[in-house]
Structure 1
């Protein structure tokens, strides 16, 4: 069963749009929550096909848009709301993830008969990998962690660094989205949020605090997040497995839009390895 574009409303906060993929057999099954990356969204490219594969293996798969990713409830694909994007930051994404977790583990959840709340896996791609690592290090509900092409640090990312004086003076800086050709705004609050929460957002320390199994998957030819970052995650995380995929890029050779009804070979490997790790 696939239910798209459901809305999680919150008091004094932007809503979160999410999808669920699962076999409605009224049997409790592992909950898998997927976090997209920077300039990403839940409907990007192959993510629906990936979700279907997890559901076929009797896993309850959830993917969602971070509330300030630039999408809206009416238009969850791409970035119609750049004002929201400008106000995004790491701690907002951590709060979004916490609210999604609370929603699906609640006794009031309409899905409670289909979810084993004692078996929860986070999957994060790219920046979403960093968010997932931090969340897994501080939330005892998470039982397994999977990161795909994950970053190993936030402090050196384009969205966090740059000409700080100019950024502060202007109040905003822009990063080009090469696909949509939009200049994506980052208000200076993004940097302040990082600095004010630097200890919490230290991915290395969060990795070292992990007590759960962690699967790291990364392409050796990733031009966006170097494979060296995966090797550092491997070094820091005490209970982990690193799978290196040769000749594979940041999105495991997928693209947006994706019009085929099958996954690229590399992403199929990622999906199968991840499902096996959960099961």
Structure 2
């Protein structure tokens, strides 16, 4: 059963658009929640094919758009709402992931009989990997963690983009989206929120405190986030496994839009390894 573009409404907060992929069997299965990365969205590239693979492995797979990723309810693909994008930050994304978990683990969820509430897995790609690591360190409901090409440090990515004084003065800075050619705005609130929550947003600290298994998947030739960041995560963790992908890139040889009916072999490697990790 595939249910696309469902809406999670919240009081005084932006709604979250999400998809579910699962086989309706009345048998409880692991809940797997996927967090997209920076300038990403739930329908990017091969993520739908990936979701179908998890479903076919009899897992309950959920992917969602972070509420301020720049998508809308009407158009959850790409970035029609740059005002929302400008107001995004790490703590909003952590709140969004918490809201998704709360929704699916609630007693009144429509398909609660399909979910094993004691077998919760979070997957994060790129920046979403950092969010997944921090949330997994905070939330005892999460039993396994998988990261795809994850960042290892939010600090350097927050404070070194452009000139801080100019950012503060202007209130906004822009980053070019190479694919859509949009100038993506970041309001200064992003930096202020990071500084106000800097201890919580320390990925190294979170990784070192993890008490659950962590599968770290990273392409050795990733030019966006270097492989040594995966090695750092692995070195910080007591319970991690590092799985390198040869001859690939930050998105495991995919692109957007993806017009083929099958995943590239590199992403299939990632998905097969993830499913095996969840089931064992």
**TM tier, shorter chain?**
over 0.9
- CA offsets, 1:149-185, max 9 Å, x none? 0000001116864310000000000000000000000
User: 1:109-148, aligned counterparts within 5 Å?
Assistant: 109-148=109-148
- Aligned in 2, Cα 1:127/1:159: closer, same or farther, shift over 3 Å? farther
Number of residue equivalences: 279
2:227 match: 227
- CA offsets, 1:230-258, max 9 Å, x none? 00000001101001111110000000000
- CA offsets, 1:48-106, max 9 Å, x none? 00000000011000000000000000100000000000000000000000000000000
Distance across 2 between alignment mates of 1:156 and 1:79 = 25
Distance across 2 between alignment mates of 1:160 and 1:78 = 25
1:185 match: 185
1:27 match: 27
SS of the residue aligned with 1:119?
Answer: strand
Alpha-carbon contact 2:158-2:194 (below 8 Å) kept: no
Do residues 64 (structure 1) and 64 (structure 2) align?
yes
Do residues 268 (structure 1) and 268 (structure 2) align?
yes
Alpha-carbon contact 1:153-1:202 (below 8 Å) kept: yes
Distance across 2 between alignment mates of 1:37 and 1:5 = 18
1:206 match: 206
- CA offsets, 1:251-276, max 9 Å, x none? 00000000101000100000000000
Cα drift, residue 24 of structure 1: 0.6
> What stretches of structure 1 of length at least 5 have no aligned partner?
none
1:43 match: 43
Alpha-carbon contact 1:36-1:124 (below 8 Å) kept: yes
Query: Aligned-residue CA RMSD in angstroms?
Result: 0.8
Do residues 84 (structure 1) and 97 (structure 2) align?
no
Alpha-carbon contact 2:217-2:243 (below 8 Å) kept: yes
1:54 match: 54
1:256 match: 256
Distance across 2 between alignment mates of 1:254 and 1:86 = 27
Alpha-carbon contact 1:159-1:186 (below 8 Å) kept: no
Cα drift, residue 143 of structure 1: 0.2
Distance across 2 between alignment mates of 1:150 and 1:111 = 31
1:170 match: 170
Distance across 2 between alignment mates of 1:80 and 1:192 = 25
1:100 match: 100
- Aligned in 2, Cα 1:208/1:275: closer, same or farther, shift over 3 Å? same
* Runs of 4+ that moved beyond 2 A: 158-162
Alpha-carbon contact 2:34-2:62 (below 8 Å) kept: yes
